[in-house]
Amino acid sequence: MEIRTPFALKILRAFMVAAVVASLGSCGVLGFIFSTPFPQTTVLAKAQADLSGVISSSSADSFNLKTVATGGYEYVMLIGPNGGVAYVYDTDLNLKKTLTNFGGNGLMVDTSGNIVLGSTEFSPDFSSSSTLTSGITVFSAGSTGVDGFVDSPTSQVADFGVNSNVLAYIPFPSGWIPSGSQVTVPLSSYLSNLTIDGIFEDASAGTVTFAISPSGNNSSTTTAYFFTVNRSGFTIPTNVLDSSSSRDHLVSASIGYAQGSIFAYDTSSSSFVQINPANGSTKNSFYSPTNDPSHLRFVYRVGGGSFYGFNKTTRILTKYAAWW
């Protein structure tokens, strides 16, 4: 096209400027201009521990990442399968202890305020240990959270598991005296093939929040159901999931708990989300489009402040600052 007059040229220039401004004003263009190929969590990373020298890539998937707090101590623990090895870090990821041969991979704090790992009871500072009463082992209920908790000053519950739609657990008196009476509770009248994503004990609130998914696994998205019960006088209503809140498109291995909220990675919004477990609504979110968490395992400090991710590919454990 031949521009014949200065006026036409001015009109064309004005149109082009308007088009550029309009396109810049759209979120997509600005999002592109200020985006980055690096994981959004990079800006939150504060510390790292490289476990590639001690955990093989083939076994990394079988390690659970959990936190435990008792007696003024708080630890981040990577727990291997079958009670073989566990790496104990403080909250700044300084290695405090490497544990071996503890007899199982369940983790909890018992009525004595000690840390129970598998079939071994440790003092809060890991300076001493003893084996639980013969035959008792705390097994892992999920890849994160806790595997048992104290429900009264003289009793505790552990060994949670799900068979199809029925949740089972065992109450133990203090001192880990065998009781042998397993409790079973149907969780849903229509959901089956359930998996425990995590059991989250909130000591300050005196509650336990369950995250349970149908057909969940650690690398795919799932619909997670949430319900919260009191630790004291612990009991679970029959078919509790039928009236529980739920949330779709969550990565199972990313589900965690802190400060009364559930946290997870939501693939539908490509975001980390803070979820109200009472109704499944989102409180806050953190857009992280390039962060594929399928090879990550997350755990959150219950009191907040930070969360941790274990990269099963690089076997690097990273501490992140809280984003919410």
* Cβ pair 172, 222 in contact under 8 A: no
- What distance in Å separates the CA atoms of residue 277 and residue 283, rounded to the nearest whole number? 10
**Which residues of this chain interact with other proteins, rule CB under 8 A?**
4-5, 31-40, 42-48, 50, 92, 270, 286, 289-290, 292, 313-314, 316, 321-323
Which CB sits closer to other proteins, 33 or 153? 33
CB 101 to other proteins: min, Å: 31
What span, in angstroms and rounded, lies between the C-alpha atoms of 281 and 202? 20
CB of 37 to other proteins, least distance (A): 4
What minimum distance in Å lies between the beta carbon of 36 and other proteins?
Answer: 5
* C-beta closer to other proteins: residue 3 or 168: 3
Rounded Cα–Cα distance for residues 313 and 324 (Å): 27
Q: Are 211 and 202 in contact (CB under 8 A)?
A: no
Q: Which is nearer to other proteins, 169 or 310 (CB)?
A: 310
Give me the least distance between CB of 298 and other proteins, in Å please.
Answer: 16
Task: Report how far residue 257's alpha carbon sits from residue 263's, in angstroms, rounded to the nearest whole number.
Answer: 6
* CB-CB contact of 323 with 286 (8 Å): yes
- Looking at beta carbons only, is 26 or 238 nearer to other proteins? 26
Pick 140 or 291: Cβ nearer other proteins: 291
Nearest approach, Cβ of residue 261 and other proteins (Å): 16
Separation of alpha carbons 143 and 41, rounded Å: 21
Residue 31 CB, nearest approach to other proteins (Å): 5
Give me the least distance between CB of 290 and other proteins, in Å please.
6
Q: Which of 272, 270, 276 is nearest to 321 (CA)?
A: 272
Nearer to other proteins by C-beta: 92 or 248?
Answer: 92
Among 239, 139, 124, 259, smallest CA distance to 190 is for: 239
CA 249, CA 221: separation in Å to the nearest integer? Answer: 5
Q: Between residues 21 and 100, which has the closer beta carbon with respect to other proteins?
A: 21
Cβ-based neighbour number of residue 34 at 10 Å? 7
Residue with tokens 């041969």: 101
CA gap 318, 251 in Å, rounded: 18
